Amino acid sequence: MFQDLHVIDFHAHFPIKTNMGHGHRPEPRETGPVDNPAAVARHERRGDALAQTRHNWRLAFDFPEPESEQQSSEVQAERWVAELDTYGIERIGFVTGQDNDELARVVKMHPDRFIGFAHHDITLPDAAEELERAVTQLGLKALKLLAPTVPLLINDKALYPVWETCERLGIPVLCHFGMLGAAGGVSYHPNISPAVLEPVARDFPTVDFVIPHFGIQHITELLFLCWSCPNVSVDSSGSNQWVRWMPYKLTLDEVFRRFYETVGPERIIFGSDSSWFPRGFALRYLQDQIRICRFMNMPHEHLQLIFGGNAAQLLDVPLGALDPPRQDLPGA
C-alpha cells in the first residue's frame, strides 16, 4: 500500500517492441526521400535538436537514459513485479506490449498484479473479431488505441463493430487524443481532438471511454465532452508537460481542480505512463499528483477512487486483495 491508498496504475507500457499495425509509423512522403547533401545535413541537425530536447526533459525530471539493450519479456516481467513491490503498487495496467498475444502471455506470468489491454489495429477487417478473441480467449480487459494514428475518423460508422464488441463485452476503451510522441511527434490529425469522439460516446452510452493525459492540449474540448457524455472519464498519466505550451498560464494543479469540479472524483483515474528501464515506475508522477489532491483537501474516499477505486471498477479487478490477512490479537 502506498501511503494509506490502494494504488492501481491504469496506464503503463510493457517495455518490449510494439507492433501497433497500420498507421502507427509515419509513412514516407509520396515524392520519396530527399538525398542531396544539404538536405541530409539539415535532417541530421533536426534529429540532433530533437534528441537534445528529449535529453533535457529527462534531466528536468531526473530520469536516466533508457537502456539500449532489449530484454526478454520474462526479465521485464520480474523487474516490473519488483517495482510494484518496492513502491507498494497493487496492480498495473499495460496498455501496449508488442501485440495482444505477447501481452497476454506476460499477464499470465503475474495475473494478480498485471492487467493487459488489447491494442491491435481497429481498422482491419477482422478488428472486432480480434478484440473478441483478445478478451474472451486471451484474458485482456480493455482496448487501447491512439486516435491520431487511425486513418479513419474515430466516429466513422465503419468502426462501429469495434464499439459494439466493447459494449457487448463490457470493457472500457482508453483512447489517446492530442499530440503524440516526444519532441518532433504528431500535433495535427483529423482525430487530434477528443471532440470527435462525442457521436460514438453518445451512440454507445454504456461503454466507458477514458481519455489519457487530461486530453493534452485539448482540455477545453475534453471538459465539454465529459459534461456532455457521462461515460467519458480522464486519466492523469504522464508528465503532463503539455501545460507549458498552452497559450495561457496553466498548471497541473489547476487541471486537476478543473476536472474535479466538472466530473468529480469518480471519473478521474491515475496512470503513470511508465514504460522503460532503468526508470521503471515513474514514482514522482504519483507523488506529485497525490500532493496536488491532498492540497485540494480531498477526502480520503475521493483520493482512493482516483488512485485505485475507479480503475478497479473499470477493469473488474479487486481492490485491496493483496493486503495481508488481519491478525487479531488473542482475546481481542
* Alpha-carbon distances of 270 from 39, 42, 108, 136, 312, rounded to whole Å: 44, 40, 23, 26, 11
Q: In which band, very low, low, confident or very high, does the pLDDT at 13 lie, cut at 50, 70 and 90?
A: very high
Neighbouring CB atoms inside 10 A of 10's CB total: 31
* Residue 40 pLDDT > 80: no
Closest CA to 165 of 199, 115, 120, 129: 129
More confident site: 51 or 327: 51
> Is residue 29 very low, low, confident or very high in pLDDT (cuts 50, 70, 90)?
low
- Homologous superfamily (CATH) of 7-22+63-315 is Metal-dependent hydrolases (3.20.20.140)
pLDDT for position 63 = 86
What local confidence, expressed as pLDDT, does residue 18 receive?
54
Average pLDDT over residues 90-115: 98
Alpha carbon distance 90, 93 (integer Å)? 10
Q: What single-letter DSSP state applies at residue 274? A: B
Q: What is the mean pLDDT of the chain?
A: 90
Whole-model pTM: value is 0.89
Band of pLDDT at residue 20, cut at 50, 70 and 90: very low
Is it the case that residue 282 has pLDDT exceeding 70? yes
What are the structural domain ranges in the chain? 7-22+63-315
Distance CA 6, CA 3 (A): 8
Instruction: Count other C-beta atoms under 10 Å from residue 144's C-beta.
Output: 24
The per-type count for the chain, helices as H runs and strands as E runs, is 11, 8
Short-list 270, 241, 262, 259, CA closest to 178: 241
Q: What is the rounded CA–CA span in Å between residue 177 and residue 311?
A: 20
Q: Which helix (H) or strand (E) holds 46?
A: helix 37-60
β-strand pairing of 142-146 with 114-118: parallel
Q: Residue 83 pLDDT more than 70? A: yes
